[in-house]
Structure 1
Amino acid sequence: MSSATTVEVLYHAHHNWLTGWLRRKLGCPDSAADLAQDTFIRVLTARETPQIIEPRAFLTTIAKRVLFNHYRRQDLERAYLDALAQMPEIVAPSEEDRAIILQTLMELDQLLDGLPRLVKRAFLLAQVDGLTYPQIAAELGISIATVKRHLNKAAMRCYFAL
């Protein structure tokens, strides 16, 4: 059986159950439907379709990851909107620019996922806030050599992701 056929069978047998499970977690049927679709897209686009012995446990594991990313995106969006609210209206970006910036922030967050917190923080201080190595070192309470290592690690992650 091909992987597409396996996913199709899995979808037909468990989509309604997964959507209900997500609806109970989220309290929103529309978001639950979207995240159920995202879950099956992850299964479909996986490099290899694993041998699935317990389909609901398998889908729950993937759905939890999708749900975690959903909450992370919400937190990022909330933080971005809070930062925008503090800006003077005259320098606030347009709605189109806001959407582009938010999408870029989400992609950057996903790109840096898995790096230690201090590495991410150093990278953001350099790239977003434009701080120098000594300023980052002072902000994070680390040495300049450590700042260089952190920025190198983050840069390598970005380079190899491309």
Structure 2
Amino acid sequence: MTDSFAAPSPCMNTLYREHSSWLEGWLRSRLGDRWTAADLTQDAFVRVLAAERSNSLPSLREPRAYLLTVGKRLLVNHYQRRSLERAYLEALQHLPEELAPSAEQRWLLLEALHALDELLDGLPLVVRRAFLWAQLEGLGYACIASRLQVSERTVKRYMAQAYEHCLLVEL
């Protein structure tokens, strides 16, 4: 059996058994949706398990506090994802019908948008903007600098920061 398919440790089993319903209840009270709360609870424990396997899980003297932090981050990601979806669907409504993508193409585009959003998560907004303008709109550094009202040298620094972030996320 490979390490990626190894059974969770006994402490992970205990953590899940003792705290998963509490976390799910907390998420449900914030979302008003038990199915999404259940999904986010599972995502939280997948992240905790991944942290344990990579030896980056801190000592959990207060497991609920740790799970609450993970849950809050997942909740923020969930709302950001919904906002991104709404903005995308709204933009589609303004397209002429003959240019509108099919349902399958919309789904693929949404998945790509989510992946890009997740990849750039953690970058300062100004760095994300510079990177997206360069990559998606093909703008040059001078144009980006003008839009952001910064120097070209600053734009170069932003782009280096964005590329470095993307490379580190991919590792």
Q: TM-score, normalised by structure 2?
A: 0.85
Q: Aligned in 2, Cα 1:154/1:19: closer, same or farther, shift over 3 Å?
A: same
Aligned to 2:158: 150
SS at match of 1:111: helix
Alignment of 1:138 with 2:146, yes or no, is yes
Rounded Cα–Cα distance in structure 2 between residues aligned with 1:94 and 1:159: 32
Q: In the TM superposition, what is the alpha-carbon distance from 1:89 to its structure 2 partner?
A: 2.0
Alignment of 1:5 with 2:13, yes or no, is no
Any runs of at least 4 consecutive aligned residues in structure 1 with deviations exceeding 4 A, and if so which?
none
Equivalent AA in structure 2 for residue 113 of structure 1: D
Aligned to 2:4: none
Q: Which has the larger displacement, 152-161 or 14-23? A: 152-161
Q: In the TM superposition, what is the alpha-carbon distance from 1:25 to its structure 2 partner?
A: 0.6
Q: In the TM superposition, what is the alpha-carbon distance from 1:54 to its structure 2 partner?
A: 1.8
Q: In the TM superposition, what is the alpha-carbon distance from 1:58 to its structure 2 partner?
A: 1.9
The superposition leaves residues 92-143 of structure 1 with CA deviations (integer Å, 9 ceiling, x where unpaired) of 2222222222122212222222222111001111111222222222222222
Q: Which runs of 5+ in 1 are unaligned?
A: none
Aligned to 1:14: 19
The number of aligned residues is: 161
Rounded Cα–Cα distance in structure 2 between residues aligned with 1:53 and 1:73: 32
Rounded Cα–Cα distance in structure 2 between residues aligned with 1:160 and 1:40: 23
Identity of aligned residues (%): 50
Aligned to 1:117: 125
Rounded Cα–Cα distance in structure 1 between residues aligned with 2:12 and 2:75: 20
Match of 1:31 among 20, 31, 36: 36
Q: Which runs of 5+ in 2 are unaligned?
A: 1-6
Q: In the TM superposition, what is the alpha-carbon distance from 1:3 to its structure 2 partner?
A: 5.8
Equivalent AA in structure 1 for residue 46 of structure 2: I
Equivalent AA in structure 2 for residue 29 of structure 1: R
RMSD of aligned Cα (Å): 1.8
Q: Which has the larger displacement, 58-67 or 90-99? A: 90-99
Q: In the TM superposition, what is the alpha-carbon distance from 1:67 to its structure 2 partner?
A: 0.9
Rounded Cα–Cα distance in structure 2 between residues aligned with 1:125 and 1:119: 10
Rounded Cα–Cα distance in structure 2 between residues aligned with 1:123 and 1:115: 10
Q: TM-score, normalised by structure 1?
A: 0.89
SS at match of 1:135: helix
Alignment of 1:40 with 2:45, yes or no, is yes
